[in-house]
Structure 1
Amino acid sequence: MKLLLVPGFWLGAWSWDRISPALEAAGHDVTALTLPGLESVDTDRAGIGLAEHVAAVVAEIDRADGPVVLVGHSGGGTVIHAAVDQRPDRVARAVYVDSGPLPHGTPTNPHLPSDGADLPLPEWDVFRADGSHDLDDFTEAQLADFRERAVPHPAAAAQDPQVLSDDARYGVPITLITTTFTQEQIDTYTEAGEDYFAELPKMKDVTIIELPTSHWPQFTKPEQLAEVLRDAI
């Protein structure tokens, strides 16, 4: 199976380095993406928004010889959901890693402070607020390496509203690998109509897998994430 791995904010293809080999060993053809504007710290991110990120994933889908599985981490979940919407007949499954299928009209995260066209990685205290599990299992060395390699995200990609138009997306099977929420919490949020889970009741085939750890399981539990991905695919 052709797998397209889409990173979240501040990350590039390198963030999947500890995941890709296990998926390739299972016989999959794996492509990890670096989305436009995430190539380096010095990249000009002006004019790069959510549409450009979605277009990059759709282009990879179109290059594939057959159906693909999309894997999106965090903000990458917004991107792959829009790509599913544009190519529902080409996606065999969409896997959301501590993310979800964001509904039409909703931006991924418009509240993070930006610096012009750049959205820098916030200080770690932002991720520790309100009892968050975002940094669970991280070592100080891992956090230092993350910050050293992080690239500012295009601010518009976080602020642009999601654009969806094809209800055929609801027929594409999805898997949620939840690391900072429990399935019980997801059920509660879904019943309350929370944006991040508003699409779930419309999906025909939804699997939820709990993998308790940080918001970045590819760093804190890479072996377990790779195993869960193999099973999901």
Structure 2
Amino acid sequence: MATETNNPIIVLVAGHWLGAWAWDEVLDHLETDHARAAAITLPGLDGDDPARTTRTLDDQARAITDPLARLDVSKEQPATLVAHSGANAPVSLVLDRHPELVHRVVWVDSGPMATGSAFAADFPEDMAELPLPPFEVLSQQASLDGLSTEALDQFRSRAVPEPGPVLRQTVELTNDARHDVPTTLVCCSISSAQVLDLAREGHPLFAEVAKLRTIDAIDLPTGHWPMWSRARDLAEVIGSAATHTG
């Protein structure tokens, strides 16, 4: 039988080019709903870090695990991890290394990575970083639907180039217990029906989804950045996921 847990701990991790600031509006809504929520900026995405272009996925995974300790997360009180887009690589590592610390993972227009995969294994070694592309280029890769001019301006002004090592590094996973962590798929730019069909067909981008043992798939139609286009609705989905068990 499904139950609910009070005062959930929620850790939000944004995708490429983004820091904790990307979740500001979502956090406002979650705090109104009395959740214990925190957003983090991954290593390599802090513009003031002089060594940021050398940061790796392992650095990013540790940066997710460390706040769990500060929030008193434990096997008895696990956290809900929220991973948007390219945050799926470090969050997949955390699920592999510490599945007992995760109550539920919420993939926001994203999903778990498969072992042996990389975001861009062929990203040139002589390129230290990947800046945010022009929006006309980015829109061919990910939907910008629902984003206001103000949101796009903020995205452009605050984006930090993605470190090359993060893009090139292969994700190595060994712990099948990661598949036991309850999962919520928040499907925005592609429908849940399409995602599940692609997973069943073995599409390489969604093959790991077929291995998950407990999945809730939620449609939240909008573009690839719902934390800006549908912040209140996304917060409600996250809050519900964080309090749900069973």
TM-score, structure 1 as length reference: 0.92
- Deviation of 1:111 (Å): 6.3
Map of 2:4 onto structure 1:
none
What's the counterpart of residue 157 of structure 1?
166
| Contact 2:19–2:46 (Cα < 8 Å) also in 1 | yes
Look up the match of 1:208. 217
User: 2:173 aligns to what SS in structure 1?
Assistant: coil
Q: Please say if residues 35 and 239 of structure 2, whose CA atoms lie closer than 8 Å, have aligned partners that are also in contact.
A: no
Amino acid at match of 2:188: T
The alignment's C-alpha RMSD in Å is: 1.9
Give percent identity, aligned residues only.
Answer: 37
Equivalent position SS for 1:56: helix
Q: Which residue of 2 aligns with 1:137?
A: 146
CA drift of 1:150 comes to 0.6
- Counterpart pick for 1:93 among 93, 104, 122: 104
Q: Do 2:79 and 2:103's aligned partners in 1 also have CA atoms closer than 8 Å?
A: yes
> Which SS does the other structure have where 1:195 is aligned?
coil
Superimposed CA distance per residue, residues 177-203 of structure 1 (whole angstroms, 9 cap, x where no aligned partner):
011111221123112312221111211
Bigger shift: 148-157 or 185-194? 185-194
Letter in 1 for 2:35: H
SS in 2 for 1:89: helix
1:116 aligns with 2:123: no
Contact 1:102 1:195 in 2 (8 A): no
Contact 2:54 2:164 in 1 (8 A): no
1:38 has 2:45 as partner: yes
Residue of 41, 50, 57 corresponding to 2:57: 50
Aligned match of 1:6: 13
Q: Match for residue 190 of structure 1? A: 199
Task: Work out the CA distance in 2 between the residues paired with 1:176 and 1:21.
Answer: 22
TM-fit CA distance, 1:41: 6.2
Which of 148, 155, 173 in structure 1 is aligned with 2:157?
148
In structure 2, C-alpha distance between the alignment counterparts of 1:103 and 1:207, rounded to whole Å: 19
Cα distance in 2 for partners of 1:219, 1:123 equals: 19
Q: Deviations for 1:20-76, whole angstroms, at most 9, x for unmatched residues?
A: 122122222111101112111664323211111111112222333231110011011
**Alignment match of 1:103 (pick from 107, 111, 114):** 114
Q: From the superposition, tell whether residues 222 and 113 of structure 1 become closer, same or farther in structure 2 (CA, over 3 Å).
A: farther
The alpha-carbon deviation at position 112 of structure 1 amounts to: 6.7
| Cα 1:61/1:151, change in 2 over 3 Å | same
The 3-state SS of whatever aligns with 1:204 is coil
Letter in 2 for 1:106: S
Relative to structure 1, is the Cα distance of residues 92 and 146 closer, same or farther in structure 2, using a 3 angstrom cutoff? same
- TM-score, normalization: structure 2? 0.87
What is the CA–CA distance in structure 1 between the aligned matches of 2:28 and 2:126, rounded to whole Å? 36
Say whether 1:181 aligns with 2:181.
no
Amino acid at match of 2:173: L
**SS of equivalent to 2:25:** coil
| CA contact 2:46–2:52 (8 Å) conserved in 1 | no
Name the SS of the counterpart of 2:82 in structure 1. Answer: strand
1:5-84 superposed matches below 5 A: 5-40=12-47, 43-65=50-72, 66-84=77-95
Alpha-carbon spacing, 1:102–1:126, altered in 2? closer, same or farther (3 Å): same
Preserved contact between residue 13 and residue 40 of structure 2 (Cα < 8 Å): yes
Distance (whole Å) between structure 2 residues aligned to residue 68 and residue 143 of structure 1? 31
The unaligned stretches of length 5 or more in structure 2 are: 1-7
- Label 1:114 to 1:153 Cα distance change in 2 as closer, same or farther (>3 A): farther
Distance across 2 between alignment mates of 1:124 and 1:141:
14
- Compared CA separation, residues 137 and 19, structure 1 to 2 (3 A): same
Q: What letter corresponds to residue 96 of structure 1 in structure 2?
A: W
